[in-house]
Amino acid sequence: MSNFRRTADWLKACGKEPGDGSLAVQIGCHIEEFVEFLDQLTIRNDNSLNVHRVAVASELLESVANALKSGNEMVWIAPWDCERALDALCDMEVTGNGVAYLAGFDKEGADAAVLNANDAKLVDGKPVLKEGGKIGKPPGWVAPDLSRFV
């Protein structure tokens, strides 16, 4: 089963469907993960203006992500922008996989571990929901150990 299908099925099990208002929250989560990646980058020349630029970009994007995830800000994809938005999402997946490949990561193994950990957030097929509808972690849940994939 594809990563897309596993993710879609997991979101459905969590009560999330296209058009139900969950899109802004999911976009916030997507931005949050990009910020997490940005925060792991080390710029070789730490006197570079780019060190500051990455820090500022990370801070600004984190505030956008938090506003979307909290429901304080809403976004959508206009019908006339859907094709370009889909293209960008596909390109992000391709370039992300390219980064993983060039970094020597076992992305397929890591993907499976992360998706399995997400599945473990479901108790009897249902999500543990936190205040505001955010998907929580049940007692005893353990984050995946990705060290064997790097």
pLDDT at 134: 74
Dmax (CA) of the chain: 52
Contact 144, 114 (CB under 8 A): yes
Tell me which residue of 140, 111, 131, 132 sits closest to 10, measured CA to CA. 111
pTM, 2 dp: 0.89
Per-10-residue mean pLDDT of the chain, 150 residues long, equals 94 87 91 96 82 93 94 92 97 97 97 95 89 82 96
